[in-house]
A and B are shown apart, each in its own frame.
Chain A
């Protein structure tokens, strides 16, 4: 299955959350590819802690592959090359976890028929090799979004199942922007239909993930005044109303990742070690990530049961 990770704005936690989802799925035994289509600002290597393995891939990344400069994109086996001490001790029975990095200097570029064909070749190949292919897309209505919309509408890909995750933060502006990315005039749905997608099918394959959501009940805010608590509660209610009005209410939310202090400081994977041993991460964050990772392939959350 292909999973496309999109967001309207930067700073939504899209890359770090989707990398965590990929990691969680690999722990359960799935073979997972993480494909960095965030042209312009590739961050996956930092999240997976593979900086040195990245050297030498600068000119063989996905950007060069799509442009036809190399015939096969570079790939990095994360368990083998990560410098993260917990990841290095790969858990027994875990699946492969392979990063397809972007190029260091690659920005957006013009779409073309050949890039589309190469994109389809790549997605088909990865889909036949891996259980889950997580594709991290540049923020906004980017070239990357158009490319994968065109690829998944292509007849060659008609039997490949795909799902979209749209990440957004839990603020007024982010809710409106995320809804716009999907529903507005040149949003994902409209562009998808223009490229040959069926609107209902495409819409049925899109779910939202709310990231960095402060929980008013959390101990983190226990020091606040009663006035602050009441204000947060009412804000939360107003945001839920807004989301629902914008057609991105609870029924199309795959999950919510709580505000996690360590992710505010550093993009990284949340491991069991961080929760149990060093206790720098919150248990709720890890549980939320595990649950969203599970729901990716649970049809009950995709309107299919």
Chain B
């Protein structure tokens, strides 16, 4: 044991940056997977068990897989900093319905000037070490903006894992509604000692890309940060998808060939046909903070305040229910001609 107060012999330089990317999509299967099937889908490694929990909702998470990397880090000022280490990636399935893959790593403030033997990197999973000193502000900005071709791209690792999972024979490739994948990129900078974790920025950058910038105390594990960002990505995807379902409904007579085209709907009015999959597959999934670690849970407050995630969700859900209620009324009483 080291003497009290003395640094341990193998003291790693302190972590100054954590980052990751989350891909979120609807599981392309006609029926949601039950917990056994979820465990089967998420068994990425034979030697480690899948975490499955049923409270407060059905949730499965794969063991972490590691990907070795040795490439330049993206940076906002064009500096080329080579970095070596491993990126962790994992997959999660919520209520057997929403599939997410998430890749992440942390960066220490500095590393040795030359590459070390692989074994040294493998003993510290999900740490990518810069060769030399890390200009962390420029790298944080570079990570959020996405780097040049050839730079370390954690999104590729998450995307590759998602592609692999989507090919799984358990999936019948019959998604019950039309939806799009979203990507959420995040970075977490270290907060000064004594400060509470903070969500500095949440942006909807493009149609499918969101970026999150956090500032958190150094001792919060990167896996917990990835867990928070998975949760943000899941709920952002739910909002995005439900908004699009409602955007797609045409009030009034339907165009032929509109989604969904399954013949099982019989003579359902088109609005009911369009909203039904949302009721069956989406509305029960809203549960912010279900699996966010205690110290990070308060970060949700910022999003609830502005833009108000849950507020928007409740308004959308109410709109779905109002439309369905309206369509329970026979058309002859429902379709009111505007008064002249």
Do A and B come from the same complex?
Answer: yes
Q: Please give the residue numbers on chain A whose beta carbons come within 8 Å of chain B beta carbons, in ascending order.
A: 1, 28-31, 71-72, 77, 93, 117, 121, 124-125, 128-131, 156-161, 294, 296-298
> What are the residues of chain A within 8 A of B339 when measuring CB–CB?
none
Q: Report the minimum CB–CB distance from B196 to chain A (whole Å).
A: 37
The listed residue with most A CB atoms (<10 A of its CB), out of B180, B248, B257, B259, is B257
Looking across the interface, which residue of chain A has its beta carbon closest to that of B26?
Answer: A128
CA distance A31 to B257 in the complex (A): 12
Looking across the interface, which residue of chain B has its beta carbon closest to that of A72?
Answer: B159
> Is A71 a contact partner of B163 (Cβ separation < 8 A)?
yes
- The residue that B163 contacts in the complex, of A29, A121, A156, with Cβ under 8 A, is A121
Within B145-188, the residues touching A (CB, 8 Å) are 156, 159-160, 163, 166-167, 172-175, 178-181
CA distance A31 to B180 in the complex (A): 11
Q: Report the minimum CB–CB distance from B277 to chain A (whole Å).
A: 12
> What are the residues of chain B within 8 A of A117 when measuring CB–CB?
167
Give B252-287 as 1s and 0s: 1 = Cβ < 8 Å from A's Cβ atoms: 000111110100000000000000000000000000
CA distance A117 to B207 in the complex (A): 26
> Is A121 a contact partner of B173 (Cβ separation < 8 A)?
no
CA distance A215 to B268 in the complex (A): 42
> What are the residues of chain A within 8 A of B175 when measuring CB–CB?
128
> What are the residues of chain B within 8 A of A131 when measuring CB–CB?
178, 257-259
Assuming the contacts A31-B178, A71-B159, A128-B179, asked whether A156 and B258 have C-beta atoms less than 8 A apart, the reply is no
> What are the residues of chain A within 8 A of B26 when measuring CB–CB?
128
> Is A28 a contact partner of B255 (Cβ separation < 8 A)?
yes
B28 interface residue, CB < 8 Å from A? Answer: yes
> Is A128 a contact partner of B257 (Cβ separation < 8 A)?
no
> What are the residues of chain B within 8 A of A160 when measuring CB–CB?
173
> What are the residues of chain B within 8 A of A31 when measuring CB–CB?
178
Give B24-44 as 1s and 0s: 1 = Cβ < 8 Å from A's Cβ atoms: 001010000000000000000
Q: How large is the interface on B (under 10, 10 to 19, 20 to 34, 35 or more residues)?
A: 20 to 34
Q: Report the minimum CB–CB distance from A29 to chain B (whole Å).
A: 6
> Is B173 a contact partner of A159 (Cβ separation < 8 A)?
yes
B114 interface residue, CB < 8 Å from A? Answer: no
Q: Report the minimum CB–CB distance from B93 to chain A (whole Å).
A: 17
Interface of A is mostly: loop
- The residue that A29 contacts in the complex, of B156, B180, B258, with Cβ under 8 A, is B258
Q: Report the minimum CB–CB distance from A280 to chain B (whole Å).
A: 28
> What are the residues of chain A within 8 A of B172 when measuring CB–CB?
159
> What are the residues of chain B within 8 A of A130 when measuring CB–CB?
178
CA distance A144 to B174 in the complex (A): 25
- The residue that A297 contacts in the complex, of B28, B207, B256, with Cβ under 8 A, is B256
> Is A128 a contact partner of B160 (Cβ separation < 8 A)?
no
> What are the residues of chain B within 8 A of A125 when measuring CB–CB?
166, 181
Q: Report the minimum CB–CB distance from A256 to chain B (whole Å).
A: 21
Q: Report the minimum CB–CB distance from A236 to chain B (whole Å).
A: 31
B250 interface residue, CB < 8 Å from A? Answer: yes
> Is B174 a contact partner of A298 (Cβ separation < 8 A)?
no
Q: Report the minimum CB–CB distance from B284 to chain A (whole Å).
A: 21
> What are the residues of chain A within 8 A of B167 when measuring CB–CB?
117, 121, 156
CA distance A125 to B178 in the complex (A): 10
- The residue that A128 contacts in the complex, of B163, B178, B207, B258, with Cβ under 8 A, is B178
CA distance A296 to B163 in the complex (A): 30
Q: Report the minimum CB–CB distance from A145 to chain B (whole Å).
A: 22
The listed residue with most A CB atoms (<10 A of its CB), out of B166, B179, B250, is B166
- The residue that B174 contacts in the complex, of A1, A29, A30, A159, with Cβ under 8 A, is A159
> Is A30 a contact partner of B257 (Cβ separation < 8 A)?
yes
26 A–B pairs (Cβ distance < 8 Å), ordered by A: A1-B261, A29-B248, A29-B250, A29-B255, A29-B258, A30-B255, A30-B258, A31-B178, A71-B159, A71-B160, A72-B159, A124-B28, A124-B173, A125-B166, A128-B26, A128-B28, A129-B178, A129-B179, A129-B181, A131-B257, A131-B258, A158-B173, A159-B172, A297-B257, A297-B261, A298-B257
> Is B166 a contact partner of A298 (Cβ separation < 8 A)?
no
> Is B173 a contact partner of A156 (Cβ separation < 8 A)?
yes
The listed residue with most A CB atoms (<10 A of its CB), out of B179, B250, B259, is B259
> What are the residues of chain A within 8 A of B256 when measuring CB–CB?
294, 297-298
> What are the residues of chain A within 8 A of B166 when measuring CB–CB?
121, 124-125
Looking across the interface, which residue of chain B has its beta carbon closest to that of A124?
Answer: B173
> Is A93 a contact partner of B179 (Cβ separation < 8 A)?
no
Q: Report the minimum CB–CB distance from B175 to chain A (whole Å).
A: 5
Assuming the contacts A121-B163, A124-B166, A124-B173, asked whether A71 and B156 have C-beta atoms less than 8 A apart, the reply is yes
> What are the residues of chain A within 8 A of B156 when measuring CB–CB?
71
CA distance A31 to B256 in the complex (A): 14
> What are the residues of chain B within 8 A of A161 when measuring CB–CB?
261
CA distance A77 to B208 in the complex (A): 12
Q: Report the minimum CB–CB distance from A210 to chain B (whole Å).
A: 23
Q: Report the minimum CB–CB distance from A196 to chain B (whole Å).
A: 16
Looking across the interface, which residue of chain B has its beta carbon closest to that of A118?
Answer: B163
> What are the residues of chain B within 8 A of A124 when measuring CB–CB?
28, 166, 173
Looking across the interface, which residue of chain B has its beta carbon closest to that of A294?
Answer: B256
CA distance A158 to B257 in the complex (A): 20
CA distance A298 to B167 in the complex (A): 31
Q: Report the minimum CB–CB distance from A265 to chain B (whole Å).
A: 32
CA distance A124 to B25 in the complex (A): 13
